[in-house]
Amino acid sequence: MIQILFISSIAVQVIFGADPLTDRVRTLPGLSFQIDYDVYSGYLKGNVNGTWKMHYWLIESKDKPNSDPLLIWFNGGPGCSSFGGAFEEMGPFYVDNDGFRLYENKYAWNARANLLFIESPVGVGFSYSTDDFHYAEANDDQTTAQNYMALKDFFASFTDYKNRKFFLSGESYAGVYVPTLTLALARGINNGDFPNSNFQGSNIGNGYMHVEYLYNSQVVWSAYHGMVSMENLRFLKANCTSRATVIGDLETYSFVDYMTTEGHLEYESDGSACGDVIERLVNMPDMEDEYNYYQDCYVDPPLFATLPQRPKRMQRRKNRARKQALNGIFDKNADSSGNPATKFNYISTDGEWGYPCWNDVLLTVWANRKDVQEALHIDVAWRATNLTWQDCNDPMYDAYNVTYTDLTTIFEDFLKENRNPNFRFLIHNGDVDTICNYLGEAWFMRRLAERNAMEASPRRQWFFSDQTAGFVQRFTHGSGVIFDLMTVKGAGHFPATDRPGPARQLITNFMWGPAPTGPDYNSTAGLKLMPTFAPLLGEATSDAPSTTSGLTPTTSKLTTTRVKMIQSGMAAQEIRRQETREVRQTDTMRSKKSESFMDKLSGTLGRKKKPEPTEGGAPHHEGDHRENEHQEMIQNRPDDAFPIKPKLDGIVYEHEGREALDYALIPAISKKIEIEEGAERRFLTRESSEDSRIHEVIRLLLGWINDEVAGERIVVKNIQDDIYDGQVLQKLIEKLADIRIEVPEFSQSEEGQIQKLEIVVSTANRLLTPGQYENPKWTHQMIHQKDIVAIIQLLVSLAVFFRAPVRFPEHVSAQVIVARKENGQVKTRYTTEQLTDKQDELCPKGERDAFDTLFDYGPDKLAHVKGSLLAFCNKHLNKINLEVNNIETQFQDGVFLVLLMGLLEGYFVPPHHFHLQVSTHEEKMKNVQFAYQLMDQVGIKPKSRVADIANGDVKSTLRLLHLLFTKYKHELGPDAERLEEELEHIVQSLEPQTTQRSRLRDVGSH
């Protein structure tokens, strides 16, 4: 008997955890497309006293959020996060391969439903216990109790949903969560404890509902999918006959009798001959994707280290990915330029080039960003720990107490207690899943139907876009309850990911099918078979301004008007329409104001004005006398180049830091230092603010920036005031990298400005420090707070990276005061920050080698060395009918480097894994970076920077080619020895010149 009846009719006063007013997400970091629906993130109570806090994620319907049903989703595991389902399966937001940008899933399930994702049980994802942040104890009954309480809290808090139709849905081990919660809800509704009685159905995808059936059927499934020899099949039929009722009929055998398990989650051979054969059929080998038998996974090598660790299964996937990577197989969708959502094959009938099956890694990167957790209202207490969000909680998985290995009695108890004759169940499976296969589910449903005298309809095809999408069979109980047993053709464990179009059609019809006849899964009512993508942020739309996005309101705080509208019960769509009207009215009023208003706006809006004509009629460009302006700026430093020091009213700080703060050059944007609890701010000391070498670095930076952005009619005068809003930085990076950053041209609100700056700074981080997604070197907060140290370091790094024609003073450092707020008090400390390095390090050359000597003293020998290295390259490239003639130009786009690495290692790199046709600097960088990744896989560590190769630095290119030659010279035989001897001879012949010139320099120095 199920032990989840903690529910009683006793009234208990509780404080609800969720709050629609404060939980609405105002901005979603990385969002790249426009939306017109709201999302919410916060916590629900998992127990009466509130010590169990369960994170939820609510996404409104795209269609009619005020009346569309609510679909509640649970991932399985046990111990896996529903946040993963939201961002990897049926939610509208997918994470790009940079771990930053969110692009659109156009087949999201919120087409005609509101989606509620709950991270369950406590200890999974952002859900936690206030008594123990590492809480990982769980069992089926406890999980049911937590989910029941969380839903009570939700309906009590979100009163708009109190009488709304709602459905449960989940996958995998949610094949336990959903049925047990379904029974608990039925009982709670019957006794009046649960606040919403409009419970209409439950969907279970690839469910773990009968453990023995799943493992026994997997042997049969594998045997007829080519995984067993005829000899082993005969052996199984003749010798592994435990509990068999018909010898020779594998469906009647009990193969689990030859296996052992500790927790009913994983099974291994018991050491017998039968067990050894069976284990190979139920546990997929390393190079087979157990979640989709026909799927080939592709993974980007730099993410290997971040793959979440799962017992056995995840390790197997990781090993498989590494092997495929070594064979030149990578994600086709590795290019994140443009809109990555457009690159997937949504209509494929096989497993090729759909959604990347390794996106759980990217979600882990995105979800652990500080700005993301702040935007999602993740509790400060949780963020203050050393915990990180993970797709699955391994300790919970290992220790989980499986209570129900057969859900038959749970369904039967529900049928006895249910009072809704129109209630429906959907049990669906991807037909190539080997974790929870369709055959085991069919056995389970057949037994349940036979035990309860259900009427079975014929099994029929169902269709998506006039193609077979799978098969469906309906079982009807005498009470009217419907059970639909379905398969999704070509889908694995995650149908919403593998077959997004059919999966969305399936779930929508399940919810909207009329009663009592039940769903027609072929219906396309209210759905577009091939939905279009939403406009990207910054793109103009014909019917609404881009500011109508549900995540980018025009004000940074919840307005009093909106609070009143929500409190009055006004529907969400009507609120948005009212706000849109206000935005348009405000824009109209602004346009009527005088042009002088532009001067009052913060950031670069006031700078981008058309140049006034001079007396002679020609436009006068403010940059014409830039040098004089720069000199004047430095001479008048306290009023221009650096901010003015304000009074420190209301600031509490340690005695030892008082003098330091008095002399700090605090930004003049406020009369008080504004530091959030736990945050830091940095300020230059007076000595550093007066350092002429720092002034010189700033002068050089200003001159360089103004030269680069001159075509934009922008003049940069102040290193802080003109950089902090992101406008100049955006134009500079776009010019240097030859890319387009997808941000609005102007942002008139502080929130919009910060969002834009975040995207721009993230782009800079990806260029300058690729792969450091979790700990970026620069943050948008640093730049927006006018942190002069961060601004200088960022600009110097850009100048060095793109080889600006600037020679900075060497070894320039700044004395910095770091102010940190802890427990309401501001504490300070001194530190030293390096602004520039040695010139050779600014433009790295590495240790002096033969190529330095060659370029310095033997330019006449250079052509001979180039020819020899070209001969080495062409000996391999000729195998695919390619030839290099010019080292200066033909290697800098990375194409030949990638192909050459494949040839040297004996594999062909498919063209869709890199940019075969290069049109931008960023594409060059990505190609060269990709080639470096291939080199790293075989232990080659180039000294030349990626940027040097992409920028066409000949010396760096020669060094790299010689490194490859040294690694693979054994393949050239006598040719290799000849080339090596020639290079050594050239260097030796130049040594006398080197020595003589060194002596002349020594004499000159005396």
Q: Dump the DSSP string for 628-651.
A: HHHHHHHHTGGGTTSPPP---TT-
Long-range Cβ contacts of 863-867 (<8 Å, 24+ apart):
864/982, 864/986, 865/958, 865/982, 865/983, 865/986, 866/958
Identify the sign of the CA torsion 865, 867, 870, 876: negative
SS3 349: coil
Quote the tokens at residue 823: 């427990």
Burial track 735-759 (b if 16+ CB lie within 10 A, e otherwise): bbbebebbbbeebbeebbbbbbbbb
Q: Mind giving me the DSSP string for 165-232?
A: -EEEEEEETHHHHHHHHHHHHHHHHHTT-SS---EEEEEEEEE--BHHHHHHHHHHHHHTTT-S-HHH
Cα 861 to Cα 795, 857, 864, 989: the distances in Å are 38, 9, 6, 10
CA-nearest of 755, 776, 375 to 603 is 755
Question: How far is the CA of 939 from the CAs of 409, 594, 876, in angstroms?
Answer: 58, 64, 20
Count Cα atoms within 13 angstroms, Cβ side, for 680.
11
Helix (H) or strand (E) run with residue 663 in it: helix 655-663
Distance between CA 322 and CA 599 in Å, rounded?
56
The reply to whether 431 belongs to the active site is no
Given 55, 477, 493, 780, the catalytic residue: 493
Q: How many Å apart are CA 741 and CA 797, to the nearest integer?
A: 19
Contact 653, 825 (CB under 8 A): yes
Tokens of 619: 């436009």
Tell me if residue 433 is catalytic. Answer: yes
Active-site residue, from 433, 484, 722, 787: 433
- Element holding 680 (H helix, E strand): strand 680-684
In the chain, count H helices and then E strands.
36, 19
* Residues constituting the chain: 1006
d(CA 272, CA 743): 63
**Which two three-digit tokens encode residue 207?**
């469910």
- Please state, in angstroms and rounded to a whole number, the distance separating the CA atoms of residues 235 and 413: 41
User: Which one of the listed residues 32, 172, 202, 747 is annotated catalytic?
Assistant: 172
> What is the CA 693 to chain-centroid distance, rounded?
41
Q: Which long-range contacts (CB under 8 A, 24 or more apart) does 345-350 make?
A: 346/106, 346/107, 346/500, 346/501, 346/530, 347/465, 347/501, 347/530, 349/467, 349/489, 349/490, 350/294, 350/490
Three-state SS letters, 777-842: CCCHHHHHCCCHHHHHHHHHHHHHHCCCCCCCCCCCEEEEEEEEEECCEEEEEEEEEECCCCHHHH
Reply yes or no: is the peptide bond before residue 516 cis, omega within 30 of 0: yes
Q: What's the token pair of residue 238?
A: 């003749």
The CA distance from 894 to 461, in Å, is 49
The tokens of 260 are what? 């052992």
Annotated catalytic residue 498: no
CB 745 within 8 A of CB 635: no
Q: Smallest Cα–Cα separation from 715: which of 67, 323, 678, 707? A: 707
Cβ-based neighbours of 706, under 8 Å, separated by 6 or more: 623, 626, 714, 715, 716
* Pairing verdict, β 166-172 and 268-269: unpaired
Residue 557: CB partners within 8 Å, gap ≥ 6? none
> Which residues are registered as beta bridge partners of 205?
171, 428
Cα distances (angstroms) measured from residue 154 to each of 14, 41, 55: 13, 12, 11
Active site residues: 172, 433, 493
